[in-house]
Amino acid sequence: MKILYVEDSAAAVLVMRRRLSNFGHDVILAKNGQEAVQMFRLQAPDLVLMDIEMPVMNGFEAASRIRAVEATQSWAWTPIIFLTASDTEENLITAIEAGGDDFIAKTVTEPVLHAKMKAMTRIAALRRGLTLANQKLEALASSDGLTGLCNRRSMDTRVDASFGDAVQLQQPFGLLMIDIDNFKKYNDHYGHLQGDDCLRSVARAIAATVEADNAKIGNHAAFAARYGGEEFAVVLPMASAERTAIVAHALVDAVHGIAIAHEKNADWGRVTISAGGAHLPMASGSIANLFRAADTCLYQAKERGRNRAELLHQTLPL
């Protein structure tokens, strides 16, 4: 267990650190409440063991600030135990009101301290399990069950945030809308189970292409989403017009390259996609209009023969 031990007395630190280390715990030290809050942000300990009376900032104030930090972080709660030479009723009440969870004397015996740490270790294990479960639930809630890409709800949240950042920073923004060509005919001819396999294969090709692009540019990563049915979207925050076009054509080539048979896709005989893209040299206005522009280009790609990308590179009337 990782323990943040907050104490200004060097002698007390020497004794307690040795006791905790002997129990098998990793001890992180802070000399006062202010340093404790900073270390808490950086280290995310499993337990805070803290003196009350300290210079700069006392334990009660530090506990209140730690609880405020937790409200903005992914972990929800960390046990705080106060250590003091004065275990008065008043101190106990103040400790609980400040956000503390327990209160033990500095003169606590070895067996009692060991028992307390065993209980805290069990709590730490439960917290880690709960955090992992929450992360899995969040991943499930934000992913499309069939393809594994972002689902529509997750895409809407992410695209609003990334577009807002681009507007604020006066940066460019690219968007691609993608549709599998003649997919209804594919389903009618091969069946819906094979249609699901087709969707998964196309999604993997899209994801791999986007990941390859992200590996080249590093920051402002693009992401792919299942927009609905056989439609997908690729969002390209802060992307140049050139990069938007490169990704669009790479997606068309990638899906063509996996060579999934599609007898009813005239002229091609394999599964293909059409892509429509829109790009803003400086993000502004409404993201909904950018989606509409990309969708218009998608239909142009369909009308001009499919298995192609059509892009609009201009300042749109948003």
Per-residue pLDDT of the chain (318 residues; tens, 9 = 90+): 999 999 988 888 888 999 999 999 999 999 999 999 999 988 889 999 998 888 889 888 999 899 988 887 755 688 999 987 766 677 777 777 777 888 887 888 888 888 888 888 888 888 777 777 776 766 667 799 899 999 999 999 999 999 998 999 999 999 999 999 999 999 999 999 999 999 999 999 999 999 998 876 655 689 999 999 999 999 999 999 999 999 999 999 999 999 999 999 988 999 999 999 999 999 988 899 999 999 999 999 999 999 999 998 544 433
- Paired tokens of 296: 């218009």
Burial class (CB in 10 A: 0-12, 13-18, 19+), 194: middle
Name the amino acid, one letter, at 280: L
Q: What is the pLDDT of residue 128?
A: 78
Please report the sign of the dihedral spanned by the C-alpha atoms of residue 165, residue 160, residue 74, residue 138.
negative
Instruction: Report CA torsion sign: 297, 300, 301, 302.
Output: positive
Angle of helix 59-70 relative to helix 33-43, nearest 10 degrees? 30
What CA–CA distance (Å, rounded) separates 84 from 220?
Answer: 49
Report which secondary-structure segment, H or E, holds 237: strand 231-237
Nearest alpha carbon to residue 3 among 16, 134, 15: 16
CA distances to 238, 243, 301, 317 from 249, rounded to whole Å, are 18, 10, 12, 25
What is the pLDDT at residue 317? 39
Rounded-to-integer distance, Cα 213 and Cα 138, Å: 25
Using CA of residue 117, residue 123, residue 127, residue 128, what is the dihedral sign? positive
Give 15's Cβ-side CA count (13 Å radius).
11
Backbone angles phi, psi at 45, to 5 degrees: -70, 165
Structure tokens at 251: 């997606």
The Cα 242–Cα 301 span in angstroms is 18
Give the model's pLDDT for residue 75: 57
At residue 316, the pLDDT reads 41
The rounded distance, in Å, linking the Cα atoms of 158 and 277 is 18
Domains observed in the chain: 2-142 (3.40.50.2300), 152-313 (3.30.70.270)
- Distance from C-alpha of 125 to C-alpha of 212, rounded to nearest angstrom: 37
Q: Which residue has the tokens 């969708």?
A: 295
Nearest one of 177, 196, 178 to 260, comparing CA atoms? 196
Per-residue pLDDT at 74 = 59
Angle at 305 between CA 301 and CA 307, to 5 degrees: 70
pLDDT of residue 313: 55
Q: Locate tokens 């803290």: which residue?
A: 50
